[in-house]
Amino acid sequence: MVSWVITGANRGIGLAFVEELSADSRNTVFALTRNKPNSSALLELESKLKNVHVLQADITDVPSLRSVAKEVEKVTGGTLDVLINNGAYLSKERNTYTLDTYDGKEDLLDSDCETFFKVNTLGVIKTINVFLPLSARLHRLLSRKSSRLAQV
């Protein structure tokens, strides 16, 4: 039994992770989305599969991440095996921009950089920080088990 948390799971690569992982019933998949009522593909999977849990969180918002972590703990007994930091802000229109392309659009450059940093850097740090205790608990449990085995 492996537990997975996937951020940005409502579309794109995140949704593909959920589809692939949930196909194996030994996996428990926590699919995080910013807008649960609008995540129809995830809700459909959740309605069909017992091992899919759709939870709402914005990775820039620590209280929403903490509330999701509590839900994960209830299902797993307090541990987490894998966190996939997939959620990200990607500007489809400007993904090929260089600094030169932003010439004359300095305000846009500033706001893009702020959003990239807020979501793709700070958001990931916040997510790791919230889920790390679950992962650490798992490691403590495993190391206790393996030291008991070593004593046998």
Stretch that binds ligand NAP, among 9-17, 21-29, 47-55, 99-107 (CB under 6 A): 9-17
Stretch that binds ligand NAP, among 46-54, 84-92, 131-139, 144-152 (CB under 6 A): 84-92
Task: Detail the DSSP E strand segments found in 13-98.
Answer: 27-33, 52-56, 82-84
138 binds ligand NAP (CB under 6 A): no
The Cα 91–Cα 116 span in angstroms is 9
When binding is defined by CB under 6 A, the residue of 45, 72, 119, 134 that contacts ligand NAP is: 119
User: Which residues in 18-47 contact ligand NAP (CB under 6 A)?
Assistant: 34-35
5 binds ligand NAP (CB under 6 A): no
Residue partners of 50: CB distance under 8 A and separation at least 6:
25
Q: What CA dihedral angle connects 75, 77, 83 and 89, to 10 degrees?
A: 50
The Cα 4–Cα 82 span in angstroms is 5
> Which residues here bind ligand NAP, judged by CB under 6 A?
7-8, 10-14, 34-35, 58-60, 86-90, 119, 123
